[in-house]
Amino acid sequence: MGKQLSEMTLEELWQLFPIILTAHQGCWKEWYQEEEALLKKVLPQAERISHIGSTAVSSIWAKPIIDILVEVPGDRSLFAYKDLIVHSGYLCMWESEKELSFNKGYTENGFAERVFHLHLRYTGNNHELYFRDYLNQFPDIAKEYETLKRSLWKAYEHDRDAYTNAKTEFVTKYTTLAKEIYDGRY
């Protein structure tokens, strides 16, 4: 029998769960909506639940992983919500005082059909919403982002951190522009 996910090194996890990019799939919106409905029941105190990441941009290729941002009021510790999310099938992958990150759909045999990343944060810590909206409004910039991601894909297929870091400058540039354009939207 193989190792449990919790026993694997980061490198072993990256081998089992490589970066995969695919053309946009219409089912991603539906998968998000179904998961959002579940999360609203589990976390009725959430102030906003949002579909973020490239699967929320209908014109570009993406990793087939639904990214979800859950914003909660700042009057409680984020850790107060942790067990509720874990009992909904998520694994807590990373935590700090300002963010908890969860995954769902990672198995000892690789990805399940539906895979989710949940980012739990305090209300207002939501820069991804601006980036998402900007890419949806400006398809030419979205295509530039897709081109960048596809150029990085094979080089960083088994190194998620390097893949993410190589996109940071682009994401930061357009998130900053989006915040200027959509000032106060979120």
Rounded to whole angstroms, the Cα distance separating 46 from 91 reads: 19
Other CB atoms within a 10 A radius of the CB of residue 3 amount to 12
Domains contained in the chain, CATH given: 5-181 (3.30.460.10)
Q: State which H helix or E strand residue 11 sits in.
A: helix 10-16
Tens-level pLDDT at each residue, the chain (186 residues): 567 777 767 677 777 888 999 999 999 999 999 999 999 999 999 999 999 999 999 999 999 999 999 999 999 999 999 999 999 999 999 999 999 999 999 888 878 899 999 999 999 999 999 999 999 999 999 999 999 999 999 999 999 899 999 999 999 999 999 999 999 899
Picking from 133, 119, 110, the residue whose alpha carbon sits closest to that of residue 184 is: 133
Q: Please tell me the pTM assigned to this model.
A: 0.93
Write down the H helix ranges in 43-159: 79-86, 127-137, 139-153
